[in-house]
Structure 1
Amino acid sequence: MIEAMTTLHSKKPIDEHLERVYGAATTNDLSSAYAGWAQDYDADVASMGYRFPALAAAMLARHLTKRDAAILDVGAGTGLVGSWLHDLGYTNLTATDFSPEMLKEAQTRGVYAQAKVGDLLKRLPFPDDAFEAVIAVGVFTQGHVSVEGLEEVLRVAQSGAAVVVPLMVDSWERLGFQAQAEAWEASGRWQRLDQTPWSAPMPNAADHKQDLGAVFVWRMA
């Protein structure tokens, strides 16, 4: 799912989708908003030059050479990340998303071995230590999943697993992600392997060309 934006000024169809997504008061509201966006989502985010799916897949490829590794795509949405990972040669991909409609779109790509509806703020439908890598693009952001959802990501990640999470600078600094990530680094729960420079992940978004984000990679202890 795409990273958070403030309300845009013009009333284009994409603006209405964004207002519904980021104005959702409950998980059901958010799910309904994405259900109504599923068919147009890929074209809309492409129009903004959305870079996080490709960058996150590339960052995982830098640190995971095993092409048949079990990888969980959390918040898979329509499968943009899975498509990039498939193109990079990964063959054992699992998708999860809280929106059945978005997940249905993801499954049409034919790149996922399995796809299951799941909610990070409850319990994902996977056992402990199930995956050799977890990637979560557009998940941990304003109006979506809070920092508490990271615990569920770590639960399903094996020892030594790579965890790839893009974050906008506001989410990193103001929503508790920096504090939590650095606390786990200090305690040895995971190790930061890599980070892209802060840059604009939506360079064609009229009101958000200057919004900065980065892709982080951690290794589980």
Structure 2
Amino acid sequence: MPHTPWLYLPPLEFESNPAPPPSSTGKPFTFGCLNNPVKTSRLSVQIWAEVLKRLPDSRLILFELNPDHGQLLRKQLAEKGAAHEQIDIRPKGNVTYFLELHNEIDLMFDPTPYNGGVTTGDSFWMGVPVLSLEGNAYVSRQGVMQNRCLGLDAFIAKDSGEFVEKAVQIRANADLLMQLRVNLRRMLQESPLMDYDSYAAEFKKMLLRWWAKRCSEN
């Protein structure tokens, strides 16, 4: 497939709309990762803690598997230099809670090496951009693929150092974050991730090519 191996279907049965970035209303700048907590790797923790050290007035919202896991995440982040008051660990809730929680977050972090999939689409749907670290495997390039589908190459980092620098730069670009809050849902709707007709047509062409090749070999 030319752009994406899969499509995004928004949760239309739940009415949730983007709100202004929390930092634009005087609240602390807030990073987040609302992916399955099992994706919160030690490498992710190390990189995110470095961002929090660089931006001591910011905070980070994460999901926990259970209270013990939440304590472990706090311990790991603190060991890497994050302050206790910067770490906000939440239990996972229902879909409405999950979507509304995006309105408490300015910038989402994509976990590495196992990136988000549908969760990244949900973030775009709620107007929150996602900063991704480019990997070398299918599961670690999902964020790259999705950001490129929306023309958001500026939210792709080549290495952990660039990830930290980009997080700091994006933190300082309030105008960009406000523009994306307003436009990101439309950008997603107009992207290959939600172009169902073109995807179906390309998939049909691919099947016909495979069938023709198979027939020519027999």
Same fold (TM over 0.5): no
Please identify which structure carries the higher strand content. Answer: 1
Please identify which structure carries the higher helix content. Answer: 2
Larger radius of gyration: 2
Q: What's the TM-score, normalizing by structure 1?
A: 0.42
Q: What's the TM-score, normalizing by structure 2?
A: 0.42
Q: RCO (CA 8 Å, sep 6+): is it higher in 1 or 2? A: 2
